[in-house]
Amino acid sequence: MSLEDHAEDLASSLGVDKTEVKRDLENLVSYSVPLEEAKDSLRRKYSEGSDGGGTPTSRDVADVTTEDSSVNATVTVLTAGTRSIRYQGSDHVIHEGELADGTGKISYTAWEDFDLEPGETVTIGNAGVREWEGEPELNLGENTSVAREDDSLDVPYDVGGEASLVELEPGDRGVTVEARVMEVEKKIIDGRDGETEILSGVLADETARLPFTDWDPHPELTESASVGLGDLYVREFRGAPSVNVSEFSTVEPLDREVAVGEGAPRLAVREAIESGGLFDVELVGNVIAVRDGSGLIQRCPRCGRLVRNGQCRSHGAVEGEDDLRVKAVLDDGTGTVTAILDDEITAEIYGGGVEAAKEHARDEMDQEAVADAIRETLVGREFVVRGSLSVDEYGANLNARSFAGTSDDPAARASDLLAEVRT
């Protein structure tokens, strides 16, 4: 298919002039934007600025597709989040969340304030449709109308965005939680308006622990405070969900203490990987291999990356700094992850620190001697590992906070199992 054909296809599906689309497409491609990405960005451009090129079609939510240029729908507002974004150089307050009818739910972004409230039922006229994370999303702009309905719909979803921490996923908006602040610290970041103070820490409830960032520091977020938080959004940070508190969020101290779970949820490896990343999880499996780059390693003093043969991938020839680390492949029969053990855990397994490891390597005249000794200790044995799981193009990596052998005594194992069944 030629660029011309792509332009023609796109123009007819968007209901806009082909010459203009072709010019934009050529322009993007000339800047080495991949074709599919260029087409997506034009779909967004033309559907946001859509002046009602076609007549909107009335749709059930489940039937809305990205082929629709604009739709009418009667829906219940599930969540209404508020966020400030910088778009083409200026700040806009946008409203976003989810809408539903009896057939399904769909996310939305409102570029104007329609004052949507969770729980109300509205008929939306002439909403644009664009693709967002592979799914259709409704865009409510200046040509969209919102009419309140007296009769409510029967929708099979929870209204209001109340969630426990374990339920949160990147992309969630307008979320409400009750949690305890486990850790919090002030940080100065180089934000879009220069140096800005933010808060960064960890929230917990009975179900999970998650990192959070408060972009507009709320004084109520102090260590061990139990708080109700409203209008939050969830982003992905290092492969796991992260809670974002903004200037639009509500933060209220609670007059009771939010219960916090001690342990991390224990999941099968496959289940954990399928979740896309978890800030705090416990996995149990056999170490089937200790990967290269384990044991006594050298790190670049500038970026901390592994130095091989005196070379950092980013900084060239550097004087590497000695460190200890293990990358252990953990297998539980459902899948594998790489458990990454830091210097402290590694020293415990190895039975000595960096100095002992260097001496060992010198004696054997082989740096790999340290990794070999660790391999001998770990491979073929079962371990419980707790830490943060990230799943991305580098694979599934579990940054361990704790690492312990399961009991080798079958009787003890059986009674552990019984105890688990009972609780």
Tell me the closest approach of the beta carbon of residue 399 to Zn ion, in angstroms: 20
> In sequence order, what E strands does 6-55 have?
none
Tell me the closest approach of the beta carbon of residue 309 to Zn ion, in angstroms: 14
Instruction: For residue 114, give the nearest of 126, 106, 122 by alpha carbon.
Output: 122
The helix/strand/coil state of 420 is: helix
Residues 6+ apart with CB under 8 A from 319: 301
The pair of three-digit structure tokens given for residue 183, joined into one six-digit string: 């850790």
172, 233 contact by CB (below 8 A)? yes
Q: Any contact of residue 312 with Zn ion (CB under 5 A)?
A: yes
Tell me the closest approach of the beta carbon of residue 316 to Zn ion, in angstroms: 8
Kind and range of the H or E run holding 264: none
Q: Choose one: 24-32, 273-281, 294-302, 346-354; the region binding Zn ion (CB under 5 A).
A: 294-302
Closest residue (Cβ) to Zn ion? 300
Does the CA dihedral 286-290-296-302 come out positive or negative? Answer: negative
Cα radius of gyration (the chain): 26
List the one residue from 23, 187, 291, 302 that touches Zn ion (CB under 5 A): 302
Positions in 331-390 near Zn ion (CB under 5 A): none
Tell me the closest approach of the beta carbon of residue 53 to Zn ion, in angstroms: 52
Q: Which is nearer to Zn ion, 145 or 314 (CB)?
A: 314
List the one residue from 303, 317, 412, 414 that touches Zn ion (CB under 5 A): 303
List the one residue from 308, 315, 362, 381 that touches Zn ion (CB under 5 A): 315
Strands 321-331 and 295-299: antiparallel
Strands 336-341 and 250-253: unpaired
Does the CA dihedral 29-34-38-39 come out positive or negative? Answer: positive
Q: Any contact of residue 300 with Zn ion (CB under 5 A)?
A: yes
Tell me the closest approach of the beta carbon of residue 374 to Zn ion, in angstroms: 25
Tell me the closest approach of the beta carbon of residue 308 to Zn ion, in angstroms: 11
Q: Any contact of residue 314 with Zn ion (CB under 5 A)?
A: yes
127, 139 contact by CB (below 8 A)? yes
Number of residues that bind Zn ion (CB under 5 A): 6
Tell me the closest approach of the beta carbon of residue 305 to Zn ion, in angstroms: 5
Q: How many beta carbons lie within 10 A of that of residue 256, not counting itself?
A: 7
Q: Choose one: 177-185, 243-251, 299-307, 370-378; the region binding Zn ion (CB under 5 A).
A: 299-307
Q: Any contact of residue 308 with Zn ion (CB under 5 A)?
A: no
**Which residues would be at the binding site for Zn ion (CB under 5 A)?**
300, 302-303, 312, 314-315
